[in-house]
Structure 1
Amino acid sequence: MQVVLGGYYGKGNGGDEALLATTLQMLPDDVKALVLSGNPAQTRKMYGVASCDRFNGIQVLQALRQSKALILGGGSIMQDATSLRNPIYYGSLLGIAQGMGLKTIALAQGIGPLKHPLSNAIAKRALSRCTAISVRDGGSAELLSNWNISPLIAPDLVWGLEALPVKGLWDLPAPRVAVNLRSHPQLTPDRLACLTKALIHFQKATQTCILLVPFQASQDLALAQAIAPQLPGPNQIISLEDPRQLKGLFQGVEMAIGMRYHSLIMALAHECLAFAISYDPKVSQLMAQLQVPGWELAELPELPEQISQTWIEHYANGTSLNRPQIQSLIDRTQMHRDLLTATLLTT
Structure 2
Amino acid sequence: MGQIRAVLCGYYGKGNGGDEALLASLLQMLPDRVTPVVLSGNPQQTRDRYGVESCDRFSAFEVGKALRTSQAFIWGGGSLMQDATSFISPLYYGGTMAWAQQQGLKTIAWAQGIGPLHRRSIREITKRVLQGCTAVSVRDRASARLVEEWKIEPLLAPDPVWALEDTPVEALENLPSPRIAVTLRSHPQLTPQRLQVLTEALYKLQRATDACILLVPFQFSQDLEIARAIASQLPGSHKILMLEDPRELKGLYGGVEMAIGMRLHSLIMAAARGCRCSALSYDPKVTQLMNDLDLSGWELAQLPEDSQAIADTWIDDFVKEKVLEIEKIEALRDRALLHGKLLEQFVCNS
Tell me which interval the TM-score lies in, with the shorter structure as reference length. over 0.9
Q: CA deviation at 1:135?
A: 0.3
* More displaced 10-residue stretch of structure 1: 222-231 or 312-321: 312-321
Separation in 2, partners of 1:269, 1:81: 28
> Could you list the per-position Cα deviations for residues 30-54 of structure 1 after superposition, in whole angstroms to 9, with x for gaps in the alignment?
2110000000000000000000010
CA distance in 1, matches of 2:108, 2:321: 39
Aligned-residue CA RMSD (Å):
0.8
SS in 1 for 2:55: strand
Deviation of 1:317 (Å): 2.2
Aligned to 1:247: 250
User: What amino acid is aligned across from residue 106 of structure 1 in structure 2?
Assistant: A
Matched, 1:221 2:224: yes
Structure 2 counterpart of 1:315, one-letter code: F
Number of the residue aligned with 1:86 = 89
The CA distance in 2 between the partners of 1:86 and 1:168, in whole Å, is 36
Matched, 1:268 2:275: no
Q: Conserved in 2, the CA contact under 8 Å of 1:204 and 1:232?
A: no
Kindly report structure 1 stretches of 4+ aligned residues shifted beyond 3 Å. none
**Identity over the aligned pairs, expressed in percent?**
60
- The alignment's TM-score, normalised by the length of structure 1, stands at 0.99
The SS at the match of 2:111 is strand
2:147 maps to 1:144: yes
In structure 2, the residue matched to 1:106 is: 109
For the residues of structure 1 that align with 2:23 and 2:56, how far apart are their CA atoms? Answer: 15
Q: 1:176 aligns with which of 179, 185, 195?
A: 179
CA distance in 2: counterparts of 1:297 and 1:191, whole angstroms: 8
Q: 1:191 aligns with which of 174, 190, 194?
A: 194
Deviation per residue, 1:233-259 (Å, 9 max, x gap): 100000111000000000000000000
TM-score (norm 2): 0.98
| Distance (Å, rounded) in 1 between the aligned partners of 2:288 and 2:304 | 20
**1:185-231: CA deviations, max 9, x gaps?**
01000001110011001100110000000000000000001110211
Alignment of 1:20-35 (within 5 A): 20-35=23-38
Q: Deviations over 1:134-185 (max 9, x none)?
A: 0001000011111111100001010010000112212210000000000000
Alpha-carbon distance between aligned partners in 1 of 2:52 and 2:349, rounded to the nearest angstrom? 24
Whether the aligned pair in 2 keeps the contact of 1:80 and 1:113 (CA below 8 Å) is yes
- Which shifted more, 78-87 or 32-41? 78-87
Matched with 2:43 is 40
Instruction: Say which is worse superposed, 173-182 or 320-329, in terms of deviation.
Output: 320-329
Q: Tell me, yes or no, if the aligned pair for 2:33 and 2:348 is still in contact at 8 Å.
A: no
Amino acid at match of 1:85: I
Gaps of 5+ in 2: none
Q: What is the DSSP-based 3-state SS (H/G/I as helix, E as strand, rest coil) of the residue aligned with 1:74? A: strand
Aligned residues: 347
User: 3-state SS of the aligned residue for 1:168?
Assistant: helix
Shift of 1:318: 5.2
Aligned position for 1:289: 292
Q: What is the DSSP-based 3-state SS (H/G/I as helix, E as strand, rest coil) of the residue aligned with 2:230?
A: helix
Q: Return the alpha-carbon distance in structure 2 between the equivalents of residues 131 and 60 of structure 1.
A: 20
> What is the one-letter code of the residue matched to 1:225?
R
The answer to whether structure 1 residue 125 and structure 2 residue 128 are counterparts is yes
Distance 1:129 1:87 in 2: 16
* C-alpha displacement of 1:344: 1.1
CA contact (8 A) 1:203 1:232 kept: no
Matched, 1:52 2:55: yes
Among 122, 133, 138, which residue is 1:135 paired with?
138
1:73 partner SS: strand
Report the Cα distance in structure 2 between the residues aligned to 1:52 and 1:41, rounded to whole angstroms: 8
Distance, in Å, in 1 between the alignment partners of 2:263 and 2:109 is 22
Q: Structure 1: which 5+ residue stretches go unaligned?
A: none
Cross-structure match for 2:319: 316
> How far apart, in 2, do the equivalents of 1:310 and 1:232 lie?
21
Tell me which of 162, 165, 170 is aligned to 2:168: 165
The separation in 2 between residues aligned to 1:119 and 1:300, in whole angstroms, is 32
Cα pair 2:296 2:313 within 8 Å, conserved: no
Letter in 2 for 1:341: E
**Offset, 1:8:** 0.2
Alpha-carbon deviations, 1:85-130, whole Å to 9, x = none? 1211111111000011000000000110001111101100111110
Partners in 2 of 1:21 and 1:319 — Cα distance?
A: 27
CA contact (8 A) 1:181 1:260 kept: yes
